[in-house]
Structure 1
Amino acid sequence: MAELDIALKDMMMLDGAIGASVVDYGSGMPLGMLGGTKTLDMEIASAGLTEVVRAKVRTIEQLGLNEEIEDILITLGSQYHLVRPLRGRRSRGLFLYVALDRTRGNLALARHRLKDIEENLEV
């Protein structure tokens, strides 16, 4: 689990990071979490995003698209919520999730860093 801890810490080092988790979207349970606030419970947010990921995967399958989700962005008035499903052989069924303060976060950099974190993570 050391790699998981490193991935979470790397996500929290992003400018404006509020919270981060690595989530199993089969069960909806986070394998690890860091951060959060009184108004952003990372466990609840992670479970809720599980439903979003499942719905989009199902829709892609129903449409017969030969595509995979690269990332999902949810934009709120004060926050960005960025989800990146993992594609590695050992990490399929998991996703990275980071919530960013919209005024301090850099969305392009966050997307780039999540890709790097995904490539280096073995769960």
Structure 2
Amino acid sequence: MNIEQALRDAMSVEGAVGVSLVDYDSGMTLGTQGGNTLLDLEVAGAGNTEVVRAKMRTIAALQLDDQIEDILITLQRQYHLIRPLAAHGTQMFLYLVLDRSRANLALARHHLRAVERNLVV
């Protein structure tokens, strides 16, 4: 599936507020779905590139032979789920924001993994 279809599919997760595909090399957002006046996906995507870069540097510094599956940031009212697309050989990540009161985190992670598998970049 293409980027637009993948983002629409990610938004079908119960509790989804917004989703984006971000290039963490440049910090540029390549596509978005959802969001609102309180959630600027462009700003959030750019900010989260620093999170991904920092974790990548830490893994390299520790000489771990491993990859990030996902990064979870838990807020009082939201879950922010970051899923690097390492399997695609790209420097991109999916960024999904969930309303914590309506979302099932395990199902959201499973669904985002399926979106990643079907995404053609």
Paired with 2:54 and 2:118, the residues of 1 have a C-alpha distance of 27
Aligned length: 121
- Percent of pairs identical after alignment? 58
Paired with 1:109 and 1:42, the residues of 2 have a C-alpha distance of 22
> Normalized against structure 1, the TM-score is what?
0.95
Write out aligned runs for 1:45-64 (5 A): 45-64=44-63
How far did residue 87 of structure 1 move? 1.9
How far did residue 34 of structure 1 move? 1.0
Task: Specify the alignment match of 2:115 in structure 1.
Answer: 117
Q: Does the residue aligned with 1:92 lie in a helix, a strand or coil?
A: coil
Paired with 1:23 and 1:70, the residues of 2 have a C-alpha distance of 16
Q: Does the residue aligned with 2:86 lie in a helix, a strand or coil?
A: coil
Question: Does residue 82 of structure 1 match 2:110?
Answer: no
Q: Does the residue aligned with 1:57 lie in a helix, a strand or coil?
A: helix
Q: CA RMSD in A?
A: 1.0
Q: Does the residue aligned with 1:74 lie in a helix, a strand or coil?
A: strand
5+ long unaligned stretches in structure 2: none
Q: Does the residue aligned with 2:76 lie in a helix, a strand or coil?
A: coil
Task: Specify the alignment match of 2:99 in structure 1.
Answer: 101
Paired with 2:37 and 2:29, the residues of 1 have a C-alpha distance of 18
C-alpha deviations, 1:4-34, integer Å up to 9, x for none?
0011001111101000001100000111011
Alignment-mate amino acid for residue 20 of structure 1: V
Alignment-mate amino acid for residue 48 of structure 2: L
